[in-house]
Amino acid sequence: MFDLDRWQEIYHVLSKNKLRTFLTAFGVFWGIFMLVIMLGSGNGLQRGVSQNFGDMATNSVFIWTQQTSVPYKGFPRGRRYNFENEDAVALAHAIPEIKYLAPRIQAGGYQQTNNVIRGLKSGIFNIMGDYPAFNKIDPLNFIQGRFIDDLDISEKRKVAVIGTRVVDILFGKNEQPVDQYIQIQGVYFKVIGIFRSKRTGEQAEQENQNIYLPFTTLQRTYNYGNAIGFFSVTSQDNIPVAVVEQKAIRLLKKRHSISPADDSAVGHFNLQKEFEQMQGLFFGIRLLVWIVGTGTLIAGVIGVSNIMLVVVKERTKEIGIQRALGATPWVIISQIITESVALTTFAGYFGLVIGVGLLELINYLLGSSGANTEMFVHPGIDFSVAVTALSILIIAGAVAGLIPAYRAVSIKPIDALRYE
């Protein structure tokens, strides 16, 4: 393998016809280059979509009320209703598969009127009433302070957790928001935490304008009674959230006298189902990329095999002399295969390096330009994938050299010496 004379001979053979060698190597180079670019682009797209989930628990389901569509127990169709505090208690006791249960109320921000004031500054923000469990379902990135805790809920404390956009609008550059007060729809609340969204793009901008209050405080302060806007629910580990979803909907229909056949009365969104569909889509994309990329590589490797057949034909007399001087078939075979592997590895390595370099350049340009790239983030490939691709290429190069190698040793030495 490390015989200097052999490598000098390989260099002499490949450099003898530079244009032919270049065109052959370019086929392999292009195959690995395109494979890297397609894999990196697919990964960038998947990372972009995944970042929009933040760190949200994917085994989650969200359940809300809608108008009934079927008359039932004397109630007409088109009836409106609300979830209530007692529904949360019933769900927690009746469905042991539930891991986290977080009722929520939204108190404003959607009517396009200023609802939060601090001194002479004001703004329109989304006001949410939440339980501590919601931060386990959809975690926030805290810069200062904390999220709502159980004491805030039980004591109905007037405290608020605000996003970075709220800070920018209501507070000065050098002001410290934590422990300061803001006025929400006429009521003062103490700021206990500042967060930044873990999402990207427009979703992050919207979430950074949220203000979170203790659920019980919001219910009591703004006269919501015992109404609940919607439930966020996660299932226990290794239990599909669809199990919780079906049980919860069935229980809620029973508690609110809704027909079991009314599929429109309870709205629900199964995040796990959507996430699995997305994962399936990206698996299909990766599979397609590997098929297309491998096909392109095979085309390049076939070119290497063909050119090695030409090389063997040109060196028939030389091979005959080697055989006559005592060279074994394995020596001839290993020499041809080494030449084939050297050509494919050299071309493939440059294709891999340039492909990775181009992905890094694109990544740098996306970051430095400040463009909105929420659907395409950090294109690139894992080191293990790069090594796998290069290993496949080396194996393919060895396979490409087999046919020319056996063609070389199949010629009898006497016939090879007579070849013109």
Could you report the per-residue pLDDT of 266-312, keeping only the tens digit for each?
Answer: 999 998 888 888 888 888 888 887 788 777 777 777 777 777 766 66
Pair 406, 291 in one domain: yes
Report d(CA 159, CA 105) in Å as an integer. 16
Pair 93, 233 in one domain: yes
Pair 234, 137 in one domain: yes
For the segment 87-111, the average pLDDT, to the nearest whole number, is 87
261 part of a folded domain: no
Residue 298: name the closest of 252, 253, 255, 348 by CA.
348
Domain of residue 319: give its range: 4-53+276-418
Residue 187: name the closest of 236, 140, 122, 117 by CA.
117
231 part of a folded domain: yes
For the segment 402-406, the average pLDDT, to the nearest whole number, is 70
- Does residue 392 or residue 247 have the better pLDDT? 247
Most confident stretch, 37-51, 132-146, 338-352:
132-146
Report d(CA 60, CA 99) in Å as an integer. 10
For the segment 109-125, the average pLDDT, to the nearest whole number, is 77
In sequence order, which ranges of 315-382 are alpha helices (DSSP H)? Answer: 316-324, 329-369
Pair 247, 110 in one domain: yes
Pair 92, 213 in one domain: yes
Q: What is the pLDDT of residue 161?
A: 97
- Report how many domains make up the chain: 2
69 part of a folded domain: no
Report d(CA 346, CA 400) in Å as an integer. 15
242 part of a folded domain: yes
Report d(CA 214, CA 263) in Å as an integer. 32
184 part of a folded domain: yes
205 part of a folded domain: yes
Pair 29, 169 in one domain: no
Q: What is the pLDDT of residue 135?
A: 93
Which of 255, 288, 309 is the C-terminal boundary of a domain?
A: 255
Pair 406, 296 in one domain: yes
48 part of a folded domain: yes
Pair 230, 363 in one domain: no
Contacts of 170 (CB under 8 A, 6+ apart): 116, 118, 121, 122, 123, 162, 177, 182
Q: What is the pLDDT of residue 164?
A: 95
Res. 118: pLDDT tops 70: yes
- Give, as one character, the DSSP assignment of residue 405: H
Buried b (16+ CB within 10 A) or exposed e, 63-97: bebeebebebeeeeeebebebbeebbebbeeebee
% pLDDT > 70, the chain: 81
Pair 132, 198 in one domain: yes
Q: Got the DSSP string for 51-76? A: HTTTT--SSEEEEEE----S-BTTBP
Please state the pTM of the whole predicted model. 0.72
65 part of a folded domain: no
Report d(CA 296, CA 289) in Å as an integer. 10
> What band does 110 get if pLDDT is binned at 50, 70 and 90?
very low
Pair 231, 94 in one domain: yes
Pair 280, 384 in one domain: yes
Pair 187, 289 in one domain: no
Q: 35-49, 293-307, 318-332, 389-403: which range is least confident on average? A: 318-332
- Does residue 375 or residue 136 have the better pLDDT? 136
